[in-house]
Chain A
Amino acid sequence: MSKSNTTRRRFLTGAAATVGAAAATSFIPTRFAIAAKAPVRVGILLPYSGTYAMLGNSITDAMKLRIAQAGGVMGGRAVEYIAIDSEMSVPKAAQNANKLISKENVDFLVGPVHSGIAAVMAKIVGQRKTPIMIVPNAGSNDVTGGLCAPNIFRTSFSNWQAAYPGGTLMAKEGHKTCATISWKYGAGIQMMAAGRESFAKAGGKSVKDILLPFPNVEFQAHLSEIAELKPDAVFAFFSGGGATKFLKDYAAAGLKDKIPLYGPGFLTEGVEKAAGAAAEGIKTTLHYASNLDNPANKAFRAAYKTSTGNDANVFSVQGYDAGSLMLQAMAAVNGDTGATADIIASMEGSVFLDSPRGVWRMSKAHNPIQDIYVRQVAGGEQKLLGVAAPALEDPATGCKAG
C-alpha cells in the first residue's frame, strides 16, 4: 500500500512539473465542462499472438499500469481500451487501423510494434487530424522522418538512434573491420545502415553485409561465412525468438569468443534468460538499461513486478511513457479530446522528468531526444556500463515538420 502511495505522490509531482512546463509554452483556456463525461477511447494495435506477443503484452501492461497509477483517469475522464491483435500482419494493418479509427472512434491510437505496420498506420493517420497516434515501439526512421505528421508521436526510439552509437562503440573498442547481419526488413536494414555509418565515420569498414529473409532463423550458412571471413567484430540485430536462436547458434559455432558481437540493445533484450551463457558479455546500445540508477526506474520496476509478476523490460518502459504522454496532454486540456491542436502542442513540449529511462523530451519531429546507454549482459541481466551518446536526437531525415 505504502509503495503505491509513493509512486502516486511521485507521479503527481512529475505531472505537476510537466503540466507546468506545458502551460508555460502554450496558453490553455478554461474549457467548458465536457457535456458527457464519456470515457477517453484508447485504441491499441499491438501483437498479442505469435513471436512478438511478449512485446505487445509488456507495452499494454505498462501503459495500463501508468494510467492506473494516475487513478485510472486522464484529464478527469475514465479510460476505455479497445485492443486489437495486430498479428504482426502488414496486410491486415490498414483494415485494423481503420476499424479503430472509423468504427471505434478512438481518441488515441497506440501502436504498433512492427515497422511495416507503422508505415501503413502512419500513412492513414497522417492524412487525418485525429486520432493522435502514439508509437510505443516500431523504430522505423520514416515514422518521424518522411512520414512525420502533427498527430504522430513516438515514445520509443528510431532505428537510427538505437544502432548509431553501436558502430561508434565497436570502433572505440579497437575493431577495424566488421560484418553486419540482420533480417531484410525495415528495422534490420535501417539499423545496419546506422551502425555502418558511425563505424565508417570512426575509421572502420564493414566487409560483409548479410540480410536474411524475415523471419528466417536458419543462421548456420551465414555463420560459416562469417567464420571464413574473420572480421574483427560482428554487428547484428535480431529480436525476440530469432535473437535467442541467433545468440545460441553464434556461441555454439564457437564464434562468440573469437569475434565479439555488438548490436542495438534489442539483440539481447528480454532474451537474457533464454539465451543464457550465449548472451553473456555481449555489449549493446539502447535507450534503457534495467539497472539504471534513478528513483523513477526503481519505483516503476517494483510496481510493474507487483502488477504483472514479470520483470519490466525496455518495451514496458516505452508503453509506460506512452501512458505518461497521454496523461500529461489530457491533463493540459482538462480531458477535452476535441482540442486536438492543444493536445498536440502539449505533447510537443513535453519533457519527461520521471521516466524510468531517465529524463527525455520530445523532438520537433515527435521522436524522443534521449540518452543512449551502453549495456552488457552479465549474470543473465543487463548491466549499465555508461552513456554511449547523451541526448541523442534522430536526424529526422525527410521530415518537413522538424
Chain B
Amino acid sequence: MDLTSFLIQTMNGVQYGFLLFLVASGLTLVFGIMGIINLAHGAFYMFGAYLVFWLTNVSGNLFLGILLGLPVMLVIGFVIERFAISFLYNRDHLYQVLLTYGLILILNELQKILWGSDFYSVPIPDILKGSFPLTENQDYPVYRLFISFVCALVALGMYGLISRTKLGMMIRAGASDREMAQTLGIDIGRVFAIVFSFGAALAAFAGMIDAPVSSVYPGMGDQILIVSFVVVVIGGIGSIKGAFIGAMLIGLADTFGKVLMPDLASMAVYGTMALILMWRPQGLFGRA
C-alpha cells in the first residue's frame, strides 16, 4: 500500500468514524447517564432517515427537512421517556431491554404503515452536490466531507455542553450520584427526560444526515446499532470523549481490516474491541 492509498483509506476510516460517533454519542449518553440500555437507538436512526425523506419531499430542501424533523424526534423521545422509560429506572436491565426491544418493533411497524417497505433516496442539496478528484480515477463527494464537518461540530458542541454548561453539570451530577444530586435540588426526572430526548434526536440526526448517501430503507439502523454498542463499550460507558476515540478506532479498524485482511474483515471490529477490553475492561475512558 503506497502513501496515497494509505491516506485515502485513512480518510475513509475517519469519515466512517465521524458518523459512528454521531450515533454512538447519543447511545453512550443514555446508557452511561441514565443507565438505560436503549436497543431502540438504531430504530431512532432509521426513523430519522424516513422523517427527513418525507420532510425533504414536503419542504423541497434537506436542511429544512432536518430542521423540521429534529423537533419531531425531540418530542417523540420526550414522550417515550415520560410514558415508558421513566417507569423502569429502578428496575433490572432486562426490563429495559424488553421495553426498548418492543420499541424497535413499534417503530418498525410505524415506519411500515407510514412509508411502506420501499427504498427511498433523499437528494443532496445543490450546493453540496459536487465532488473533487482525489486520484486519477477516484472522486470524493463534497457531501461526505460535509458529514464529517457536521459531526465534528456536534462533537465539539457536546463537549462544550457537558463540560461547560449548567445543564451539563446537572447531567454529570445525576450520572455520578443520582440521590445526592436530587438532595441538592436537581430535578433528576427532568434532566433524564432531556437527556433521553436529546439522545433520540442525536440518533435521528445521524440518520437524517446520512440519508442522502446511504438512502433510506427498512432495518437500516440495525447494523449501525451493533457497531455503536461496540464503540460505546470501547470508549467506556457514558464517556463522550471515549465514544469519539472509540468511533475513530472502529472506523479505521473497519476500513483497514477490509483492505489489508479481507478474509478477516468482519473480525477487525470485534478483534479491536476484544484487545481493548483485555487491556482496559472498563473501556478507554470508563470509570472502573
- The residues of A with any CB-CB pair to B shorter than 8 Å are 49-51, 53-54, 57, 184, 210-213, 215-218, 220-225, 227-228, 230, 240-241, 244-245, 248-249, 252-255, 258-259, 270-271, 273-276, 310
- Once bound together, how far apart are the Cα atoms of A227 and B133, in whole Å? 12
Determine if B120 and A252 form an interchain contact, defined as CB atoms under 8 angstroms apart.
no
Determine if B213 and A227 form an interchain contact, defined as CB atoms under 8 angstroms apart.
no
- With A210-B262, A215-B223, A241-B217 given, name 20 new contacts (CB 8 A): A51-B219, A53-B112, A53-B218, A54-B119, A213-B265, A216-B266, A220-B15, A220-B16, A220-B255, A225-B5, A227-B137, A228-B138, A240-B119, A248-B121, A252-B139, A252-B213, A253-B141, A254-B139, A271-B119, A275-B121
Chain B binding surface SS class? helix
Select from chain B the residue with minimum beta-carbon distance to A276. Answer: B121
Minimal beta-carbon separation of B114 from chain A (angstroms): 14
Query: Which residues of chain B are within 8 angstroms of A249 by Cβ–Cβ distance?
Result: 213
Q: Which of B9, B13, B108, B119 contacts A244 (CB 8 A)?
A: B119
Scoring A258, A270, A274 by chain B CB atoms within 10 A of each residue's CB, the highest score goes to A274
Determine if B137 and A258 form an interchain contact, defined as CB atoms under 8 angstroms apart.
yes
- Once bound together, how far apart are the Cα atoms of A53 and B262, in whole Å? 29
Select from chain B the residue with minimum beta-carbon distance to A256. Answer: B139
How many chain B residues touch A (CB < 8 A): the figure is: 43
Select from chain B the residue with minimum beta-carbon distance to A208. Answer: B262
Query: Which residues of chain B are within 8 angstroms of A271 by Cβ–Cβ distance?
Result: 119
Determine if B223 and A273 form an interchain contact, defined as CB atoms under 8 angstroms apart.
no
- Once bound together, how far apart are the Cα atoms of A211 and B108, in whole Å? 29
5 contacting pairs across A/B (C-beta < 8 A): A213-B266, A220-B255, A245-B213, A248-B213, A255-B138
Query: Which residues of chain A are within 8 angstroms of B112 by Cβ–Cβ distance?
Result: 49, 53
- Once bound together, how far apart are the Cα atoms of A241 and B144, in whole Å? 19
Q: Which of chain B's residues 113-155 have a Cβ closer than 8 Å to chain A?
A: 117-121, 131, 133-135, 137-141, 143-144
Determine if A54 and B223 form an interchain contact, defined as CB atoms under 8 angstroms apart.
no
- Once bound together, how far apart are the Cα atoms of A211 and B219, in whole Å? 22
Query: Which residues of chain B are within 8 angstroms of A276 by Cβ–Cβ distance?
Result: 121
- Once bound together, how far apart are the Cα atoms of A260 and B100, in whole Å? 44
Chain B 217-243 against A: per-residue CB contact (8 Å), 1 yes, 0 no? 111101100000000000000000000
Determine if A212 and B265 form an interchain contact, defined as CB atoms under 8 angstroms apart.
yes
Given A241-B220, A254-B137: A270 in contact with B119 (beta carbons within 8 A): yes
Q: Which of A49, A225, A230 contacts B219 (CB 8 A)?
A: A49
Determine if A240 and B217 form an interchain contact, defined as CB atoms under 8 angstroms apart.
yes
- Once bound together, how far apart are the Cα atoms of A192 and B119, in whole Å? 25
Determine if B265 and A223 form an interchain contact, defined as CB atoms under 8 angstroms apart.
no
Minimal beta-carbon separation of B9 from chain A (angstroms): 6
Given A217-B214, A218-B254: A252 in contact with B220 (beta carbons within 8 A): no
